[in-house]
């Protein structure tokens, strides 16, 4: 093989290698001519204690210098060994993402979680970590105390003293009138009946209870 042919082969191999490098660089620079090495940014506010038995909502504001691929919520209840993964949904056309987690009304186990965002270039960032998660405290609402059962006591009706005294007074007056009438009758006739000895007749008055 002549020297010229060797030089041509070496030149072609070098050109091919350079072409492959250029093709790879053009793919890397497809996004505005700059390689995307910046991960997304996550803003998330930790919520204080919340009541059990309702659906818990988790919000996060996520932005990226190019294009996001996904935003995910990883959560577990206290003492659970593994995390569950929920894809957070974008709220309208904003930068806010949301996910929901149901809770049991009788359980006060806290929710441990972290949020992960990934862009199209594969860059990833997290808010919280699997080994050191964020915590949302869950509280169980105390049941209202049942008031004691009150049984009404029926009171005995009180006697009306005034009415009783009035009945007694009327009875005495009637007794006097009857006695006088009998005495007058006895005096006019000049005789007394055996039942009314010495001009006195027994009279029985029954005063009923008011």
CA gap 53, 73 in Å, rounded: 20
* Contacts of residue 106, Cβ cutoff 8 Å, sequence gap at least 6: 52, 53, 140
Question: Locate tokens 């390689």: which residue?
Answer: 35
Residues 112 and 173 in one domain: no
Report the chain's terminal Cα–Cα distance, integer Å: 147
Evaluate whether 61 touches 67 at the Cβ level (below 8 Å).
no
pLDDT in tens, 133-187: 999 999 998 766 566 666 666 665 555 666 666 666 767 766 777 666 666 665 5
Check whether residue 133 and residue 181 sit in a common domain: no
Whether 165 and 100 map to the same domain: the answer is no
Q: What are phi and psi of 28, to 5 degrees?
A: -70, -30
Residue 194 within a domain:
no
Q: Model-level pTM?
A: 0.55
Is there a single domain that holds both residue 102 and residue 165? no
User: Do 113 and 75 form a contact (C-beta atoms < 8 A)?
Assistant: yes
Q: Are residues 110 and 177 in the same domain?
A: no
Residue 155 lies in a domain: no
Same domain, 179 and 135: no
CA 124/CA 61 separation, integer angstroms: 15
Whether 181 and 99 map to the same domain: the answer is: no
Whole-number pLDDT of residue 192: 45
Domain containing residue 117: 41-139
Does some domain include residue 64?
Answer: yes
What are the pLDDT digits (tens) for 1-13?
566 566 666 666 6
101-143 pLDDT, tens digit per residue, is 999 999 999 999 999 999 999 999 999 999 999 999 999 987 6
Q: What is the rounded average pLDDT of the residues 192-208?
A: 56
Domain match, 107 and 173 both: no
What are the DSSP calls for 6-62, one per residue?
HHHHHHHHHHHHHHHHHHHHHHHTTTTTS---PPPEEE-PPP--EETTS-EEEEEEE
Whether residue 154 is contained in a domain is answered as: no
In a domain, 166, yes or no: yes
Record the tokens describing residue 123, joined without a space: 């860059």
Asked if 119 and 170 sit in the same domain, the reply is no
Radius of gyration over alpha carbons of the chain, in Å?
Answer: 53
Residues 105 and 180 in one domain: no
Residue 127: per-residue pLDDT: 96
CA dihedral angle for residue 194, residue 200, residue 204, residue 205, rounded to 10 degrees: 150
**Res 15: pLDDT:** 62
Count the domains in the chain.
2
């Amino acid at each position: 093989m002549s020297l010229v042919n060797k030089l041509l082969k070496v030149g072609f191999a070098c050109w091919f290698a350079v072409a492959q490098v250029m093709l790879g660089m053009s793919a890397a620079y497809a996004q505005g001519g700059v390689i995307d090495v910046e991960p997304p940014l996550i803003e998330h506010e930790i919520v204080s204690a919340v009541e059990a038995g309702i659906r818990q909502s988790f919000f996060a504001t996520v932005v990226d210098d190019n294009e996001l691929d996904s935003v995910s919520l990883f959560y577990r209840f206290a003492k659970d060994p593994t995390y569950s993964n929920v894809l957070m949904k974008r709220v309208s056309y904003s930068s806010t993402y949301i996910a929901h987690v149901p809770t049991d009304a009788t359980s006060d186990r806290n929710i441990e979680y972290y949020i992960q965002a990934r862009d199209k270039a594969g860059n990833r960032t997290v808010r919280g970590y699997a080994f050191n998660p964020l915590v949302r405290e869950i509280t169980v609402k105390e049941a209202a105390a049942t008031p004691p059962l009150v049984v009404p006591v029926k009171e005995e009706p009180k006697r009306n003293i005034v009415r009783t005294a009035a009945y007694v007074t009327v009875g005495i007056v009637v007794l006097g009138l009857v006695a006088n009438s009998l005495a007058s009758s006895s005096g006019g006739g000049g005789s007394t009946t055996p039942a009314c000895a010495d001009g006195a007749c027994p009279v029985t008055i029954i005063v009923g209870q008011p």
